Amino acid sequence: MANEINENIFLVNAPAGSGKTTEIRKMVDTYLREYPEDNILCITYTNRAADELSKDIESDKVFFGTIHSFINHFISSFFSHRAIIDLYWEVYRDKIVERIENVEDKDNVRESNERYIEKYGRLDLETIYSNIQEITYNEAPYNSLYLGALSHDDLISFTRIVVDKFPVVKRKIADKYQLIFIDEYQDTSADVLHIFYEAMKKSSGKMYLLGDKMQQIYKTYDGSFEEEFLTLNRSKNLNTNYRTTPYIVSILNRIYNDELYIQNSYKQNKDEDMSYLPEIIITSIPDEEVIKKKNEYPDSMVLYLLNKSRFYGIGAENLYETVRKMEKYQHGKKYGVVDVLTNLESNPDKLFALLFLFKQICTDYKKGLYGQVLKTIKDHKNQLNSSKYSVKQHTDKKTIKLLLDNVLGAFEQGDNKIVDFLNHAKELDMIDDEYIEEILGDEDYATVLEVSIQEFHNLVNYLHNPYVSTQHGVKGESHDTVLFIAANSSHDPVVNISKFFELWSKYEIKLAEFERFYYAYKNMLNEIESNIRMKITDLKKDDYVKHKEYIFQSVSDFSEAYEENVYYQGLIKNDIEKFLGKDGVTSAKACLKENLVYGALSAYKLFYVGCSRARKNLSIIIDKKDVQGFEEPLIRKFETCGFKIKND
């Protein structure tokens, strides 16, 4: 039986270059003029996206923000009700008991328990329950269970539990908002999609989910909303590509290989604007090819798959690695390494806010803008000792100039370490004492401070003239000429470009089919882990013997169900057949790895997104060793898509 369509909930395909942000702003503006008393909600994936969408829209009838900010703004008003606190208790009581008992005698848990006893006199379920007066969001990757404070992920999962248990919350959402937009739906967690889907499916309001499955390069969505996607209204699409030439659009359509998602090129874009036809360069010296191409097209964007390559490519590798390892910027925290290394104006980090400030002062000083320099110093009293730069008499100007020459000279001396410069500026009393001590006294900065300050200058030069980019760092950004380095990556998330190219050279691939297979395979892995109560990666020989029958049967059933599937044949057939032919813990773990499928799927998406970033000229550089064994059929595949081939 066909799925019943929810006519008021729209799934809008909005690929890169389709003007999604402009379209949302236009729809919001039009709706506000027609229904000035209605309320509109725009849920975005990042605060940056929220700022971009809200630009030039001034109305208290529209809420732009991330799901976390929305929950804090709207749903959290329910979180002080005793019924919600009781639900929290029902969900987290067992974890609270585990933390109280601390059977593994973890130091951090013991210290936390001691602090609680010191503050409240005792630590037991009754005391904890009576002290929780509301459920809150602690803006961290971990829960503060004793306080009822939820992490990033648990805030969303718990909110879904609340919405499912208390229909009044769903009704409040539908009553409050007559128009809802979910931007970048492909990166939105299934819990969030379920919350709004359940709220809006029987309402008189409308909801639009806008995005592009091909740009789903984060693991925030688990595939559990696929059935609901089939019920959505697909009558609206943004299928005009305003970004690139007709020739490149035709290549994108062939890579996507799905009639539902065919793009049309904007009529003002002309193939005559291209300097050369899109090309594939297969070479045993990829780095040299990048340099050669970069010399030929100095303004080109060199596109790598991951942030690591991006910062390594601009000569800021140590800066990247040391900041990435800082506790406060670990995965899941409010800010990450990219936020710290790319935010020039409102940096969340004390050290980098100071360094970027010095760069601004140095730039203005070299331009002779002395008045602006003094104003900048005066405006940053919390960071700089502005009293040193007060001009009360004519001789003060000479003193200040000598001081600035000294400090900024040390700042620009590339062989200095960051700590050398800071100590020099401290000795000259240029930085506020309290501010500098918070940096120098923080052990988390120890390794960062040892990095050459030249790497910081390399970073700033790049930020003012970006020529190296990544899929994950600035997804959606475009450039006239793109040099795309299509390489494997073993970092998380894994990207297996070789396996994708091999699969693609043999079969007709479609994203929807590929994703269905991936989710089916992932579901099998999840069911096995749930049944044996442990991660497959943790399996030992004795564990396998204990669960052998169940694991073997699960793999056998999956193999039988998908033996004709091209993704099964191209990605996991050999590993599964080895296991079924001679089972054991080693062969079981070898065929039950999510990345066997996900690595190729993510490569497919990133390959497409990489190609979509070029406005006029596109060069894809491939290491010859990565396509060994299937080079000829892959070349034929590229040629059918419209690429020109250069093969050394």
What are the pLDDT digits (tens) for 5-27?
999 999 999 998 999 999 999 99
Identify any residues that bridge with 617 across adjacent strands, giving them in sequence order.
481
Position 645: which residue type? I
How many C-beta atoms surround the C-beta of residue 643 within 10 A?
Answer: 21
From 73-77, 537-541, 559-563, the region with the lowest mean pLDDT: 73-77
Mean pLDDT of the chain: 90
How far apart CA 631 and CA 143 sit, in angstroms, is 50
Report pLDDT digits (tens) over 296-338: 998 898 887 666 667 877 889 999 999 988 888 875 566 778 7
> In this model, does residue 92 exceed pLDDT 60?
yes
Listed residue (197, 187, 142, 186) closest to 164, CA to CA: 197
Listed residue (471, 498, 496, 472) closest to 612, CA to CA: 471
Helix axes 541-562, 573-581, angle to 10 degrees: 120
Report pLDDT digits (tens) over 118-168: 999 999 999 999 999 999 998 777 789 999 999 888 999 999 999 999 999
Identify any residues that bridge with 6 across adjacent strands, giving them in sequence order.
232
> In this model, does residue 474 exceed pLDDT 50?
no
SS3 232: strand
pLDDT recorded at residue 473: 41
DSSP 495: B
Tokens representing residue 259 in the block = 């009639």
Cis amide leading into 493 (omega within 30)? yes
Do 256 and 621 contact (CB within 8 A), yes or no? no
The per-residue b/e assignment along 410-422, b for 16 or more CB within 10 angstroms, e otherwise, is bbbeeebebbbbb
How many C-beta atoms surround the C-beta of residue 22 within 10 A?
Answer: 12
Identify any residues that bridge with 301 across adjacent strands, giving them in sequence order.
482
Cα dihedral across residues 377, 383, 387, 389: positive or negative: negative
Listed residue (502, 486, 504) closest to 305, CA to CA: 486
Helices (H), 325-417: 337-342, 350-366, 370-379, 394-411
pLDDT recorded at residue 382: 87
SS3 268: coil
Tokens representing residue 179 in the block = 């128009």
Tokens representing residue 556 in the block = 């056998």
pLDDT tier for residue 401 given thresholds of 50, 70 and 90: confident
Do 339 and 323 contact (CB within 8 A), yes or no? no
pLDDT recorded at residue 472: 46
pLDDT recorded at residue 1: 41
> In this model, does residue 198 exceed pLDDT 60?
yes
Position 189: which residue type? S
Express as a percent the part of the chain with pLDDT over 90. Answer: 68
How far apart CA 398 and CA 429 sit, in angstroms, is 17
Identify any residues that bridge with 40 across adjacent strands, giving them in sequence order.
62, 179
In which residue are the tokens 């190729």 written? 600
Listed residue (110, 89, 92) closest to 101, CA to CA: 110
Query: pTM (2 decimals)?
Result: 0.79
CA 323 centroid distance within chain: 17
Mean per-residue pLDDT, 481-499: 85
